[in-house]
Structure 1
């Protein structure tokens, strides 16, 4: 340790940091580490202050950071994808639109030409959804925008095919045909 009566060594004032040239800044940092004595940690230079954000939120410099949500929103608007994204809500928000009971027994198969295709797990639920179709269309139009859905095409489960192999008899009665 040094004697408190001894005057301390004069400390050089820190040079202002210019961030316009990153390569020069890196060289200056490397030189400061080389100039330090072994075992001594070099002084840290103060960080440059951030530029204040510009009024109006306009982005003038290409290197400025922008939130990802706003960048994606701009991309969607430029490409004209807003209608397709609104239509995809039929798939993602189906359970909140029709309720958990109906959503448990039905699944949206597709959406094309303002027609929603729905597959149910039983014929009873198919009939139930056919009866509720006008109400569901009204709810979908409220959620997605008027005129986005015209009708719902409800399909029940498909019967299994008994036709196996290359050769099959037409007009047979299925598996009962082989029984006495």
Structure 2
């Protein structure tokens, strides 16, 4: 038997089965109207709440962040994005957050005096950050002063004070 003969046999069997059920061959039964949709399915939401109703963008974005696992990173980003608001304008002028890892916020101060001042204010700053962003986001702070320039250049290094040892 060729493929053509097999197809004819399958079509004849399907027609015989349709006749046994009482369906006329070649006539399609339409129950859903002209559009072809199920009449029991509504295409619009009713007066009650429905998941298809428009949602506020904040709620949609919050759900998206939670579903994708971005919540922790977004919370961490708020510390950097709202730094001036969290700690105050004067402190923000002289200190910038560098990194936030495992609840430890590293802050770089513009001078050693400001680094000392920030160490004294550390408890108050942690409280302000916890109130604004959430408890447990920043658990401790590591405050650094400005770094001195590195005189080490290249792959090889000679021990000693570097170029400053020839100054007298």
- With the length of structure 1 as denominator, give the TM-score of the two structures: 0.60
Alignment partner, residue 103 of structure 1: 92
For residues 163 and 73 of structure 1, do their structure 2 counterparts lie closer, same or farther at Cα, with a shift above 3 Å needed?
A: closer
Deviations 1:87-137 (A, max 9, x none): 221101110111001101111111111111111111111111111111111
Q: Secondary structure of the residue that 2:137 maps to in structure 1?
A: coil
Give me the whole-angstrom Cα distance separating, in 1, the residues matched to 2:77 and 2:155. Answer: 40
Give me the whole-angstrom Cα distance separating, in 2, the residues matched to 1:88 and 1:179. Answer: 46
Alignment partner, residue 176 of structure 1: 164
Q: Secondary structure of the residue that 2:136 maps to in structure 1?
A: coil
Give me the whole-angstrom Cα distance separating, in 1, the residues matched to 2:54 and 2:105. Answer: 40
Q: Secondary structure of the residue that 1:73 maps to in structure 2?
A: helix
Give me the whole-angstrom Cα distance separating, in 2, the residues matched to 1:122 and 1:112. Answer: 23
For residues 56 and 94 of structure 1, do their structure 2 counterparts lie closer, same or farther at Cα, with a shift above 3 Å needed?
A: farther
Unaligned runs of 5+ in 1: 1-19, 22-50
In the TM superposition, what is the alpha-carbon distance from 1:167 to its structure 2 partner? Answer: 4.6
Give me the whole-angstrom Cα distance separating, in 1, the residues matched to 2:68 and 2:48. Answer: 24
Q: Match for 2:151 among 146, 150, 162?
A: 162
Q: Match for 2:112 among 120, 123, 126?
A: 123
In the TM superposition, what is the alpha-carbon distance from 1:169 to its structure 2 partner? Answer: 2.8
- With the length of structure 2 as denominator, give the TM-score of the two structures: 0.64
Alignment partner, residue 51 of structure 2: 59
More helix by share: 2
